[in-house]
Amino acid sequence: MSLMILKQTLYACLTILTARTSPEGYQLLYVISMYLQLDSLIGLDVHTEGTLAAIKVELLIFDTKLKVKSFLVTS
């Protein structure tokens, strides 16, 4: 249920939090979007070599972006 609300909130906020009006909010939406993509890949019932490779790539990108955002928040 909470994942569904997160998806709906993400799409509702896309029109409000643009890169120009709220750079921080836009970056947060970007990280949430990456999380949802990663969650969708992990949630598949069958994982092929292609999906496992995609999960690995998405996880590395997500981890990097999350570390950058965490650094910016704590600075």
CA separation for the pair 61, 55 (Å, rounded): 10
Please indicate whether residue 75 or residue 15 has the higher confidence score (pLDDT): 15
Residue-wise pLDDT tens digits, 15-51: 888 889 888 888 888 888 888 889 889 998 999 999 9
Residue-range domain boundaries for the chain: 8-74
Please indicate whether residue 10 or residue 71 has the higher confidence score (pLDDT): 10
Phi-psi region of 47 (alpha: psi -120 to 50; beta: other; left: phi over 0): beta
Phi-psi region of 53 (alpha: psi -120 to 50; beta: other; left: phi over 0): alpha
Written as one letter, the residue type at 38 is: L
Half-sphere exposure of 53 (CA within 13 A, CB side): 3
Residue-wise pLDDT tens digits, 51-68: 999 999 999 988 888 887
CA separation for the pair 60, 21 (Å, rounded): 28
